[in-house]
Each structure stands twice: as C-alpha cells, then as structure tokens.
Chains A and B, each alone.
Chain A
Amino acid sequence: MLQPINVSLESLNLITLAPMLIVIAGALIILILDLINNKLHKSLYVMLTLLILFVDFGAVLGLNVNERGFFDVMLIDGISIISQLMIIVGSMIFIPLALTSRRFHEYSYPEFFALFLFMIAGFQFMVTSDNLILIFVGIETASLALYTLIALHNRSNSYEAAVKYFTMGALAAAFYAMGSAVIYGLTGSIELYKVAEVMATRINETGLMIAIFGSSVLLLVAFSFKLSLFPFHTWAPDVYEGASAPLAGFMSVVPKIAAFVVSIRIFGMYIDLGVEWVRIIILVMAVLTMTLANIMALVQEDVKRMLAYSSISHAGFIMAALALDTTEGTTAIFLYYALFMFTNLGAFSMLWISRHKNRRFDARYDHPYEKFAGFIQIMPVGAVIMGLFMLSLAGVPPFSVFWGKIYVMQAAVNAGYVWLAIVMGLNSAIAAYYYLKLIVYMFLMDPVKDVDTIYYNLSKPLMAVIGLATLATVTAIFYVQPLISYLYYMISASGY
C-alpha cells in the first residue's frame, strides 16, 4: 500500500507561484464579469488588465532572488525576475493600444483580455523554471493563447497567419519534446541543474557526445522557431503581417524575451559543459540571421514587413550575445530588449494609428511605403516621432537602441570576438538603409493622394503610449546606467 505523501505547506514556498496565480485569477475575474454583464465596454477590461498586471509587477518585485519552490520546479533567480518584469512592462505598453478611436471586433470580446492574461502566465511559467516539462507547459499555454489572439483580428490573412504560426509552433513543440526526451534518456532527469551534473560526469564517455550533440540540436531547432532564427524564420514576416500592428510589435519582443531566458538556461548549460559545437552553431545562425534578414528587409515594399524582418535581424544580433556566455553577454540580451521594447512597440503603434479599414494605397499591403510619403506635411509630430524610432532602430546615438548595440558589441569585443563586433557593425550599416528609406519617404517625398486621414486610428491613450515610447527612446542616455547596474547585479547574482 502506498504511503500517504506528507507535504508541509511551508516547504512548498507558494509565494513563488504568486505572480502567475494573480494573473490567472485576474483572467478568471474578467471571464466572470462578462458572465454577469455582457454589455461592458472594452475600456473597463483594458483598465482591469492593466491593474492586474500592476499587481503582478508588484508581486514579482517582492520575490527573493535565488529561491526554489513548489517541489523545486519553480526557480526564482535573477534572470527570471528581470525577464518577468520586462514581460509585464511590455504587456502594459501593449494593452492600452486596444483603446483605438475605431472599433475592432477582437477587443469587444472580454475573452481577448482573459486569453492575453493566460498567455502572460504561460510566459512567466516559462522563465521561472528549469524543469523541462514545466517549461514545455508554459510554452504551450502561451503559444496557444497567442495563436488565438492573432486569429481574432479582422483581416483575411490573420487566419492564415494564425494557422501558419500554429503549424510552425506545433513543429517546434515536437522538436522540443524530442530534445527533452533525449536529455531524459541521457541523464534520467528533466531538471536542468541535475542534467548538468550528470552530463558533466558522463561527457567523456565514448559515443555519448553524439547524443548530447543531438539533444542540443533538437532543442536549438525548437527555439530557433520561437526566436525566428534563420533558417526557421520564414513564418515571421507573414505572421507579423497578418497580426494586428500592436500584436506584431508585442510578438517581436515579449515572447522572444521568454524564449531567450529558456535558451540562456539550456544552451548556456551546454556551453558551460564545454560543448563548443553549440556555441559555433549559435554564432553561425546568429550571423546568418542578422545578415540575411537585413538583406530581405531591403527589398520589402511594406513597412510592417520591413519591421518584421528588422525584428528578426535584431533577434539575430541578440542571439550572438547568447553565444558569448559571459555575464556581460547575458546582460546585453536583457539591456537590448529593455531598450528595443519601447522603440519597436512605438514604431508598431505608429503603424497602428494609420490603420485603415480598407487598403487604400495598395491591394496587397496595409502599410506600403507610399502611404507615408510626405508624412511630415500631413502630421509633422507623428513624422518626427516615427523618424526618431527609425533612427533609434538604426542605432544612431543617443537614442535607446544604440546603447544596447554598443553594449552587445562591447561584450563581443571583451569575449574576444572582434570579428563578430565588426559583422554587427556592418549589419547595422546595411540596416540603416531600410530605416532611412522610410525616413526619406516621410520627410523628402510629397504625399501621394487623399491622405488627410492617415492618422485615422489615433486616440488619447494611443498618444500617451507613443509619447511614453518616444520619451524612453530619446532619454535613454540618462537611464541606461541604473538599468545596466540593476540587470548586471541580478544576472551575476544568479550565476550567469
């Protein structure tokens, strides 16, 4: 007869679960509210979501560094805390973008907000665990919610995007499951810290290297899909194009932060074990990703697709920092995303305010470059702000992304990869061309046709979000120092 299991509530350390529980409870509250009264306006749900995220933020801030909980599957270390904070901040910028002046049917469903919060809970589970199964559960929770959110948008290619993303996501999940299975077969464990211990003892056994290498390749493929790295990036532009502009901006930042945290945990382990192959493959993929995505971005005719390719290129940039496996490299990943988040979400919001019901400029694209021709004459402030975002993305100092760029490049130089820093520099130069193309259209061309209503979708909350993003982009020089020291402290505290 089985012994009853005695678990004291103390040892569970339930506080480590608190942030996710808050978000899930919040999502359930939204669903219950809808059950009671289904005539409530979206503004209520937006504000409610913001408040729940605010409480979540507080709960994450209150966590102690380097704790485990809930049968040791939860791991609260420095990178899990900073990544959760960034995920929440990114979501808090994203959610007010629902308050447009036009009506979009996805926001009239409270389920949108509930799903959104479930997705955040999924991301939080992903980053606060080193248990391969819990990570898997987190990935799938978040991804399934995200597929639905994309499909809710009212464009015909939104469904295409959602299905494409779903198919690719399922494929990635399969690779992930296989990779984890190989790891379990090798080490008899799914907890990464135990896996690392066992692997370290067995690494010199003959014939085992191929299995270790195989597991890393399977996992790398899975995360390359999630991070949209070459050659697994092909879904990204179509999905970004099909999704609504704010959601595309969100997807270029928040899910990637979560996936990067897991990648740091898994591939950092391989590199620490001395499996140099992993480092080389990551470097090669990173360089190819940033270069090829840049070249593809040059020939895009649609601003949103251009931004999609540029996001892929930025992801490649950051992936290179992962291969360095130094504290500085890891800090660079978070610093880059913290700075990139505001600028990129701001740029996508600028597309969002120019969203029209019908495609007025091009039969195929929502945001062709022609749409922004002469933007400076139609909406001077908007053009200047969009110009600032583009310059920031191109890495022109003193705007935010520049500081991320030089930190990544400095980390590469410090780790002895001067050639990598030069490749990054040249890639920034290529990238400057397509950002400049938009600036040229906005500032140096004349408007094409009845463009009086470019800023069709503008509303006060959107202005506030864009204003915040602009402020964060322009004043980066003043807050980079505290940001770096906080990130560096948290990351070195958890031993990365």
Chain B
Amino acid sequence: MDNILSVLVFFPAIAGLLGFVVNKDSARAYGITVAAIEFFLSLWLWLSFDSSNAGMQFVELIPLIPDMGIGYYVGVDGISLFIILMATLMTLIGMMSMTITKNIKNMIITLLFLEMTMIGVFVALDAIIFYLFWELSLVPMLYIIGAWGGPLRVYASVKFFLYTFTGSLIMLVGMLFMAYVYHNLTGVWSFAITDWYSLVLPVNYQLWLFAAFFFGFAIKVPMFPFHTWLPYAHGQAPTIGSVILAAVLLKMGTYGFVRFSLPMFPDASVMMITPIAILAIIMIIYTAMVAYAQKDIKQVIAYSSVSHMGIIMLGIFAMNAEGISGSVFQMLSHGIVSGALFMLVGVIYDRRHTKLMSEFGGLASVMPKYAVIFGIMLMASVGLPLTIGFVGEFLVLLGFYQVSPIMTILAGTSIIIGAIYMLAVYKKTFFGPVTNEANKTLKDLDSKETWSLIPLVLIVIWLGVYPKPVLEPIDNSVKAMVSFMHEKAITQEAKDMIKVAKTDKGGF
C-alpha cells in the first residue's frame, strides 16, 4: 500500500464525519475501535518501513495549486515515523482511559479530527500543507479545553489559541518569503520542503528566516519566555486534553525545528546555538524550580513537562547525531511518560475531584497498583536508567557535551531537581499514614484504567532496556540530515560545529 500515509491522515477525519451518525451511547466504542484501527495502520506503516533507507518513504505528491507551488506532498522518514506511531498510540490509550460522560459523542468526533491534524503535521512535506494541519490542530484543542475543562477553561483555551496563532502567522510570513526566495533563484514556485532543502541561502537571510520560524515553533514547544500559556492550558484541560497536548501537540514545535530550521538554515542554527541553549537551560532549571513550588500535582507535571522540553531543545541544537537522535527519542519518551502521568493524575482527580497534594498522603497503602505504576512513570520521567527517559536524556547530554561542557552540567542539574520535585510529589501523595478520611475508601485502579496504563509501562521498560529498534531508524535519518547540513553550511564555524558521525554504527 503506497498511499498508506493518506489513509492514515484521512481515515480518522472520515471516521469523525461518519461519527455524527453514530448513536451517542455507542460513540465511545466507535471511537476506540477507530483509534485502534488507526493504530494498527500505523503499526503496518512501521512494518513496511525500510529502516536502512534514511530518506523519505511512502512519498505522495498531488499538485493542488501549481500557480503558487502548493501541492499535497507527504512522506515519512525515521524522524517522523515514531512520532506518528506515538500519536496514534496516545490517542487510542487516551480514548480508552477517558472517563468523560458529558457530550461524549462530540468529544470522540473532536478527538478523531485532532488525530487527523496531528498525523497531517508529521507527514507533511509541503510547507503550506504543514501549516494547514498545524493551524487546524488548534481548533479541536480549543474545543476540548473550552468545553470540558475546569473553571477558567474559556480563558485558558482562548489564550492557547491566540498565542499559537500569532506565532504561526509570523512563521507563515517566513514560509512565504522562503517561497519567494526559491522563486527568485529557480524561477519556479514551490512550497515543498525537499525543494527548500536544496537552497543555499546567504547568512543574513538565514537569520531572518530562522527568527520567523522560531516564533512559530518556540511558542508551540513552549520555549521560555513563551511558555505562559501552557500551565493554564494544562491546568484547565480535561485529562484527555492534557494527555494529547503534552504527548503530541508540543512535539510539533520541536519536530518543526528538526524538519525546518536545522536543514534549511544550518549556519543560522549554528549561530543561534548559544542563545537558544541559554533559553533552554533557563527553561530547564527555572521551570523545574517552579514545579517544586506547586501545590497541585497536575501543575507539577505540567511544569516538569516544560522542563523536559528544554532538554529536547538542547539536544536539537547540539548539532550532532547523538544530540538530535537523543532529542527525537526524548520526544517519544516524553510523550509516553508525561501522557501517562497526566492520565494517572486524571485517575485520582476522578475519585476525589481535587489535585492538591495536601489532600492526599499514604495512598500507597490504599491504592497499591496505582502507586506502583505512578512510581514507574515518575522514575522514567526523572530519567532513571533502564527506563525510556534515561536513553533520550543521556544521549542529549552526551551530544551537547561536545558543544559546551558547562552548559551540559547546568542542564544535568535538571535531573537532580527533577528527582527532588518528583520524589516530593511521591512522598506527599503516597507515603506516610492516610491522614485524610476521604482517602481511606479510595478504590484502586479498575480494569479499564489498568489496561490502558499497562501497555505504556511495558513500552517504558522495553525501550529503556532495548531502544535499538526505535533508535536505529531515527539515527539513520538524523545522520543523513546532519551530513547534509554539514555539506550545505557555508560558514566555516558552522561546518566545524556540525559534526558528522565518523562510524555508521547506530546508537547503542
């Protein structure tokens, strides 16, 4: 099936449209079935994916507006493949664990449309198609936060929308300028990313364009100081909203850096290493400290999520294969771990309708299964060896060590601060005597919750112990990209900084 990517993109959308007809009592089952089929389709994509090929695979190209150079152009490589898999997996698991009953049909339809836009972003190879899915993903998320969220939901959802929308409009101007430059040099209009890769731009153009794209991506990541929308969005969003937001939507920003900024503007990227690394380190340490000061479990996880996104940013700007592969791997691990943590917070919120740590204590004796799974996820989030979180974080730090040892040490403190705030959460919530009467009768995980969390636990351990099947295709594509950047860079310092791997032994 050569057009599997189109199937993957449009299957959830069509299922969403047909979902309007489905009776609302059956909507949940319908949604889970569709999401499962979509997940199996993405597994099929992985099976038929050629891991030794570093280039784009399953490419489809249909011209839509040839006069402007816009076409439906999709493809997948090692970098995007696993993010797509993670998106379908997290949608499926999020739907399985969902406890919302109000307007469940609208929720299912919205989630299916959201799934289309998420996959669309990661397969798009045409800038306008990328932008189209990128912007369209805001609408379902706006609705999810705004319709099912907490008391401040409208404020949070509008803030989320406007922040991201503003950034991406500046990015759109950058895209239009890029197309204009391409037209000037070649005489042809094209928005295809692969065409843009071939452009060697003067450094000042690169810097301006880098800045334009930076606004779009950095707000989405979210980079410090553009992160203020995220705690609101997470704080107000329902569990499913936070899961998808943390697991997939934030990855769009970091993926954008890998797909657009690095290969298109290698010199500007190298020049921006220090400023971005400083921002990333501020983001890592500052938000980790903020996380420690939170009283609400969900806010702790939200801020820790920002902190981990800082690690991913740092890895991307290490400009070598270890750092970038580590970042892409960390995107997956962060998606799975923070998604699972948000689901776990959702579990306790459903029971007690509070997320304040002071309300809990001693839960380990009341809810042992819950405590075990929470513990594993927490360790993975901190980056304990043999969990998924370790692999990515280690590679990132290893990669960035070649750039600046001091900054790497500073970033490494995040593991320590991370351990502090996470263990503090664990201590306050799970250990000690059960002080609150209401907690004594809490039920442990039911089968629905257990079965949605077990697969994530298995993945966390499997990829922590043996990351090779995932890391190898990522590494292949990243190495190809890095050597391409090395070729393309015009300034000497950029050529020196972008290190091509000497051996092609993949990962571990």
The answer to whether the Cβ of A214 comes within 8 Å of any Cβ in the partner chain is: no
The interface residues of chain A lying within 8 Å CB-to-CB of B138 are 396
Contact among A397, A428, A433, A439 for B136, CB-based, below 8 A: A397
The answer to whether the Cβ of B296 comes within 8 Å of any Cβ in the partner chain is: no
Residue of B nearest to A429 (CB): B166
The answer to whether the Cβ of A440 comes within 8 Å of any Cβ in the partner chain is: yes
Q: Assign chain A's interface to a size class.
A: 35 or more
The answer to whether the Cβ of B128 comes within 8 Å of any Cβ in the partner chain is: yes
Residues of B162-215 at the interface with A, using a CB-CB cut-off of 8 Å, are: 162, 165-166, 169-170, 172-173, 176-177, 179-180, 183
Q: Which of A67-75, A197-205, A476-484 faces chain B?
A: A476-484
Chain B interface secondary structure, helix, strand, loop or mixed? helix
Give CA–CA (A406, B135) in the complex, Å: 14
Known A-B contacts A413-B180, A444-B157, A485-B67; the reply to A425 vs B173 at CB < 8 A is yes
The answer to whether the Cβ of B58 comes within 8 Å of any Cβ in the partner chain is: no
The interface residues of chain A lying within 8 Å CB-to-CB of B434 are none
Give CA–CA (A426, B166) in the complex, Å: 7
Give CA–CA (A397, B139) in the complex, Å: 11
B128 contacts A407, CB within 8 Å? no
Known A-B contacts A391-B139, A444-B146, A484-B67; the reply to A398 vs B132 at CB < 8 A is yes
A436 contacts B161, CB within 8 Å? yes
A413 contacts B132, CB within 8 Å? no
Give CA–CA (A421, B174) in the complex, Å: 10
A481 contacts B161, CB within 8 Å? no
Chain A interface secondary structure, helix, strand, loop or mixed? helix
- Contact flags A422-451 to B (C-beta < 8 A → 1, else 0): 100110110011001001100111000000
Residues of A176-221 at the interface with B, using a CB-CB cut-off of 8 Å, are: none
Give CA–CA (A432, B161) in the complex, Å: 9
The interface residues of chain B lying within 8 Å CB-to-CB of A407 are 68
A418 contacts B177, CB within 8 Å? yes
A484 contacts B176, CB within 8 Å? no
Residue of B nearest to A439 (CB): B142
The interface residues of chain B lying within 8 Å CB-to-CB of A481 are 64-67
The answer to whether the Cβ of B147 comes within 8 Å of any Cβ in the partner chain is: yes
Residues of A298-349 at the interface with B, using a CB-CB cut-off of 8 Å, are: none
The answer to whether the Cβ of A409 comes within 8 Å of any Cβ in the partner chain is: yes
The answer to whether the Cβ of B43 comes within 8 Å of any Cβ in the partner chain is: no
Residue of B nearest to A441 (CB): B154
Give CA–CA (A409, B174) in the complex, Å: 11
The answer to whether the Cβ of A459 comes within 8 Å of any Cβ in the partner chain is: no
B384 to nearest A CB, angstroms? 41
Give CA–CA (A481, B64) in the complex, Å: 7
Known A-B contacts A410-B179, A444-B147; the reply to A433 vs B173 at CB < 8 A is no
B143 contacts A443, CB within 8 Å? yes
The interface residues of chain B lying within 8 Å CB-to-CB of A395 are 169
A428 contacts B169, CB within 8 Å? yes
The interface residues of chain B lying within 8 Å CB-to-CB of A425 are 169-170, 172-173
The answer to whether the Cβ of A64 comes within 8 Å of any Cβ in the partner chain is: no
B67 contacts A406, CB within 8 Å? no
The interface residues of chain A lying within 8 Å CB-to-CB of B135 are 396-397
A-B contact pairs, 9 of them (CB 8 A): A396-B139, A397-B128, A403-B65, A413-B173, A426-B170, A440-B146, A440-B158, A444-B157, A481-B66
The 3 closest A-B pairs by CB, nearest first: A425-B169, A429-B166, A397-B132
Q: Given A426-B169, A444-B154, A478-B64, 16 other A-B contacts at CB below 8 A?
A: A394-B165, A395-B169, A397-B131, A397-B135, A410-B179, A413-B176, A418-B177, A421-B177, A428-B169, A429-B162, A432-B161, A432-B165, A439-B142, A440-B154, A444-B143, A485-B67
Q: Which residues does B use to contact A, with CB under 8 Å?
A: 64-68, 128, 131-132, 135-136, 138-139, 142-143, 146-147, 153-154, 157-158, 161-162, 165-166, 169-170, 172-173, 176-177, 179-180, 183
